[in-house]
């Protein structure tokens, strides 16, 4: 089962290579952090704040490619946690068909936040990492 999550916070520290995003359960109390790189944190922050650049950066480029191929980013799913590494997939809808593309959660979220793409986490992953009581 997939649980709907929201990007609750981005923690950027210029003195560390490890940045944090926090996902929070939309209809509950569970939340958890994901450690990401500085570049990805800045990309997410830029897209949340709708800051544009003169030329498309990687996430804008991918969004443009999906759009030009007449696809739509349907959702982001964090589906696995192995050896302290999260695994995500982009679910892209095109011509009524769904395509799943492997992605790092940070890249998937950076791509999806600008378009308000829903973020889901598999219940099994959420049970492993949540720090709040289940609703």
Which pLDDT tens digit goes with each residue over 25-81? 999 999 999 999 998 999 999 999 989 889 998 989 999 999 999 999 999 999 999
Task: Tell me the sheet residues that pair with 121.
Answer: 3, 78
Helices assigned H by DSSP within 31-130: 38-48, 58-68, 105-113, 123-129
Domain boundaries, the chain: 2-129
Q: Count the alpha carbons within 13 Å of 117 in the hemisphere toward its beta carbon.
A: 25
pLDDT above 90 as % of the chain:
82
Instruction: Provide the CATH topology of domain 2-129.
Output: Bifunctional nuclease domain (3.10.690)
Name every residue whose Cβ is closer than 8 Å to that of residue 65 and which is 6 or more positions away in sequence.
Answer: none
């Amino acid at each position: 089962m997939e649980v709907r999550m929201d990007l609750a916070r981005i923690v950027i520290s210029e003195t560390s290579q490890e940045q944090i995003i926090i996902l929070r359960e939309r209809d509950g109390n569970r939340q958890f952090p994901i450690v990401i790189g500085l570049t990805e944190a800045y990309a997410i922050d830029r897209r949340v704040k709708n800051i544009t650049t003169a030329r498309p950066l990687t996430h804008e480029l991918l969004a443009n490619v999906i759009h030009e191929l007449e696809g739509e980013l349907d959702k982001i799913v964090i589906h696995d946690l192995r050896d302290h590494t999260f695994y995500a997939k982009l679910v892209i809808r095109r011509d009524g068909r769904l395509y799943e593309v492997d992605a790092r959660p940070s890249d998937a979220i950076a791509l999806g936040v600008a378009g308000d793409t829903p973020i889901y986490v598999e219940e099994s992953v959420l049970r492993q990492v949540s720090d709040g009581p289940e609703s």
